[in-house]
Amino acid sequence: MAHDLVFDPKADSPLSDEALKAKKERYARFDADAAPERIAREALGAGVKKREPLGVGANAFDHLVYRLHMDDGRTIICRINADAIIAEDFPIEAMLYGAWRAAGVPSPEVYNVTLRDTPAGIDYMLLESVGTSDLEKHLAQHPEDAIEYARASGAFLARLHTAPASGFGMLKLQDGSLQGSHETWKEAILVRMEETLAYLMHHQILSSEQTDTIRSAMVQNDGLLMLSRGVTLHGDYHNANILIDDNHKEIAAAVDLSQAKSGDPIYDIAFYGTYVSAELFSAFCGGYFASARRPEDFEKKVALYQLRIYLSKAKLRKRFGYDERIPAALSGIERALGVLS
């Protein structure tokens, strides 16, 4: 799937809606209790003193995550993928972390990536455990820190965007290097959009009149998608994927790079904005642009990217059975159209 031309590898999964929903049941039954210790011993030559289950992927149910306390004193994160589709994003993620560390951006060290060599096997990644919590969990207990951390999260994202990348769109490994799957940024943003619109119309989530309005907004503003060179984008930057160090009140890393892209840095900013209030987004942008000027077309670019993102979110939520969350995506589409009109 990593080499297919997609906008969102979750929403654009080749699996049927029924198969995607069945992932929830399969992961509820999947017994990986013995796997982390075996993996750690085989890959690192050390045993596990304590194992902490950290849950499963929120939407795609692609992997299970454990924190392992090793008998050699290390604490590592073990991600296990038991899906039918090989986790081709694991080596991409490992390479990105390395590139960011080389650029001086805090990122976990990856100790091992192993992809299955049999259909019945599993893929796994072992990486350094960093930080004390993810930001979403921290703010659930300390909402008073939201503004401060929104500003810090924006400043951290600006650091991630200092690494250049070739090509545009979803990253793939080719000849030992990372590059985007598309020739242009416009292609990367618009890939499968018609398929998404058709899906949303088929399920009566969008009307034909609404889809015509969306197409018109994209055409009228496609000049904003002209980009000569991209940078590495996180692709899924929000509080659950931002790790913090409570002791020092700072961002420790940004993780889960299954949607990493090459493209316009404003895309990542817009993506973050789909998760937070206007007040928090303002603080976030203040942190991001603390040492740089905002582009003159910033608001329209954010709206254009959010329009595309919300379309994908509406499709994903329908596919995974989160119908109660579809209205929020539709509201986001309307807000974006209001800015672009």
Instruction: Give the model confidence (pLDDT) of 129-178 as tens digits.
Output: 999 999 999 999 999 999 999 999 999 999 999 888 899 999 998 888 89
User: What is the pLDDT at residue 2?
Assistant: 43
Which percentage of the chain shows pLDDT scores above 90? 69
- The tokens for 193 are 């959009």
Predicted confidence band of residue 1 (pLDDT cuts 50, 70, 90): very low
Angle at which helices 326-340 and 208-220 cross, to 10°: 40
User: What residues have CB less than 8 Å from 149, skipping those under 6 apart?
Assistant: 135, 138, 139, 239, 244, 251
Instruction: Give the model confidence (pLDDT) of 204-260 as tens digits.
Output: 999 999 999 999 999 999 999 999 999 999 999 999 999 999 988 899 999 999 899
Pick the CATH number of 133-340 from 3.90.1200.10, 3.40.630.30, 1.20.1250.20, 3.30.70.100: 3.90.1200.10
252 closest CA partner among 161, 129, 150, 76: 129
Query: Which residue ranges make up each domain of the chain?
Result: 17-128, 133-340
Beta-bridge partner residues of 53: 66
Instruction: Give the model confidence (pLDDT) of 109-134 as tens digits.
Output: 999 999 988 777 788 999 999 999 99
- The tokens for 172 are 């793939």
Q: pTM of the prediction? A: 0.93
Fold of 17-128: Phosphorylase Kinase; domain 1 (3.30.200)
Predicted confidence band of residue 29 (pLDDT cuts 50, 70, 90): low
Amino acid at 186: K
